[in-house]
Amino acid sequence: MSHPRHRLFTPAEIAAVTAGRWLRSSPRLAEPIAGIGIDSRTLAPGEAYVAIVGERFDGHDFVSAAAGAGAALALVERAPAQAPASLPLLQVGSCVAALQALAAAWRERLHAGGCRVVGICGSNGKTTTRHLIHQLLHAGGLAGSQSPKSFNNHLGVPLTLLTARPEHAYLLCEIGTNHPGEIAALGAIVRPDIAVLTSLGEEHLEFFGDLQGVAREEAALIECVAPGGTALVPAEGRLPVALPLSAPSAVTLRRFDLDPLAQALPLPGEHNRLNASAAAAVARLFGIHDVCIAAAIRSASHAPLRGEVLFADDPARPTVINDAYNANPSSMRAALAMLAAHPGRRVAVLADMLELGEGAAQAHREIADLACATADLCLFVGPLFAEALAQPGAGIGGGADRFEIHSVWSDAVAVAICRRLLAGDTVLLKGSRSMALERLLPVLEWASR
């Protein structure tokens, strides 16, 4: 079903929502804009440009470029050094706060239009769960949208809301965090009709301190559920610590565990089956029948860099489980369990886990121990693994033929790793996002020719 071109607020409404002051007013105050963007390179004609000030860039430097792209107006914190006289300029106290205020106001219009918002949080599995929910709802004949990639921070969440359409049945919005209070702040903007908490694990312990701190942060989304909504959380036995639950009285709290329909999921690992179980629970809240849910689960696809199985049908190459998008100790354990289920020689290529605070060395030693107990060959990459395993008492099993440690990534390291791999191996790639272990894939493809 086709829809008319997406139209957002009028310039007059934008000024009212953001409490902005016109430095140069728009001649079309009552004409809706086409959208809102923060990147002058991808801005479409008729959209408003928001000049975000970041740690490594200042959006005010690109106001002229936004005008050249056809911006309808620009939201700025100060008069830019260069801007065409024809471009309307709206001054606001904070461009980030203005973007979030616009998203919160648009959330009201989504509600009025009947679009139900699903907020997805958790230490691991957010993107996979969101991707599976989208596939199940789409298979049920519903039209909707979802976060592009992992747009789950203070900029990505409002941008996701602002691209949703009130006439759609749903919007799936990832909500991430790496500092206390972020879930509550973003949840107050999203106000989900359905909240899904996927898991609790040792994420960003440098800032949350321990698993109880993680639980408090992730559970904050439940308090933001809209009246009459539902919060879905894992069964108690699926969580490493008790979840502090304080759902509003008008919110229904439901727990989910492994769903029989999830057994047919083609993605590897029990953790993915639990993600599919959460997706099935959401689909039922939308009234989708189990027959449709089961068919969609059987044909479900993976999200990029998350448990994707590569080269399985090529006998000349090793099978690769590319789970390289991100990592923390709990997701490492889940990935190694996924590797253990594969036959033949198993190889774990693991890179550093970041933002673990004082427990980083111990966490890396424990994961290295588990990897050496699981895999026939372990290849560790990064200074944190190297430092942890160099300390006295590290004691990982096996000799030099069972593991290698590379403290710094380089092209030579990639070649050395590929030379250790054999046709018929099953190879797990797992590490934090900045480690970018997927860089190994082009070298592997070249080496396999």
Q: Is 252 among the annotated ligand-binding positions?
A: no
Tokens of 189: 């903007």
In eight-state DSSP terms, residue 449 is -
Among positive and negative, which fits the CA dihedral 418, 419, 420, 422?
Answer: positive
In a 10 Å sphere around its CB, with 0-12 CB exposed, 13-18 middle and 19+ buried, how is residue 237 labelled?
exposed
Distance of CA 44 to the CA centre of its chain: 25
Tokens of 221: 């989304």
- What does the alpha-carbon distance between residue 103 and residue 160 come to, in Å, rounded to a whole number? 9
> Which of 139, 144, 145, 137 lies closest to 284 in space, CA to CA?
137
- 3-state class (DSSP) for residue 429: strand
Q: Is 160 among the annotated ligand-binding positions?
A: no
Tokens of 241: 């610590």
Q: Rounded to 10 degrees, what is the CA torsion of 67, 70, 75, 80?
A: 0
- What does the alpha-carbon distance between residue 133 and residue 129 come to, in Å, rounded to a whole number? 6
- What does the alpha-carbon distance between residue 62 and residue 67 come to, in Å, rounded to a whole number? 9
Strand order of the β-sheet with 47-50 is 21-24, 89-91, 73-76, 47-50, 35-37
Q: Is 122 among the annotated ligand-binding positions?
A: yes
In eight-state DSSP terms, residue 36 is E
In a 10 Å sphere around its CB, with 0-12 CB exposed, 13-18 middle and 19+ buried, how is residue 236 labelled?
exposed
Q: Is 198 among the annotated ligand-binding positions?
A: no
Contact 382, 409 (CB under 8 A): yes
Classify strands 308-310 and 319-322 as parallel, antiparallel or unpaired.
antiparallel
Strand order of the β-sheet with 403-406 is 308-310, 319-322, 426-430, 346-351, 377-381, 403-406
Contact 200, 208 (CB under 8 A): no
Q: Is 141 among the annotated ligand-binding positions?
A: no
Length of the chain: 449
Annotated binding site: 122-128
Q: Which residues are annotated as a binding site for ATP?
A: 122-128
